[in-house]
């Protein structure tokens, strides 16, 4: 039972769908980070919007999004995904590099003169 749970987690981390989902999520959050001023510039922006929107922006730390815990968690999951995918593909890659190349044609140099 424990092995099957670990296997499911491993397959999830190696999933290309997870990679695509994380990349789309990062793109969407980066768009939000571009539209909402970050850092010191955000104070004037936050004061100029409605209190409800202020609460949302401050709750999710959208004024300093790239340093927020949830954004760093997304980056961490992407890193885990990339490491898991690399480890998963490593045996096949090693086999590919160990395989001796075969010639495209036989007797390629057969008709050439030595001069």
pLDDT tens per residue across span 56-78: 888 888 888 899 999 999 999 99
- Whether residue 81 is contained in a domain is answered as yes
pTM: 0.73
pLDDT on residue 1: 61
Q: Which domain holds residue 15?
A: 2-90
Per the structure, how many domains does the chain have? 1
Task: Count helices and strands (H / E) in the chain.
Answer: 5, 0
> Which residue stretches of the chain have pLDDT < 50?
none
- Whether residue 12 is contained in a domain is answered as yes
End-to-end CA distance of the chain: 70
- Whether residue 42 is contained in a domain is answered as yes
What is the three-class DSSP state of 91?
Answer: helix
- Whether residue 65 is contained in a domain is answered as yes
- Whether residue 69 is contained in a domain is answered as yes
- Whether residue 27 is contained in a domain is answered as yes
For residue 29, CA distances in Å to 3, 20, 33, 44 come to 35, 14, 6, 21
Contact 38, 64 (CB under 8 A): yes
pLDDT on residue 12: 92
pLDDT on residue 115: 67
């Amino acid at each position: 039972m424990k092995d099957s749970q670990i296997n499911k987690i491993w397959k999830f981390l190696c999933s290309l769908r997870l990679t695509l989902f994380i990349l789309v999520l990062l793109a969407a959050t980066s768009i939000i980070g571009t539209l909402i001023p970050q850092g010191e510039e955000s104070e004037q922006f936050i004061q100029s919007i409605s209190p409800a929107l202020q609460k949302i922006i401050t709750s999710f730390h959208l004024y300093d999004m790239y340093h927020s815990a949830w954004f760093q968690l997304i980056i961490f999951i992407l890193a885990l995904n990339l490491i898991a995918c690399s480890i998963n593909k490593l045996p096949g890659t090693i086999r590919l590099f160990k395989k001796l190349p075969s010639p495209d044609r036989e007797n390629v140099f057969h008709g050439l003169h030595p001069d």
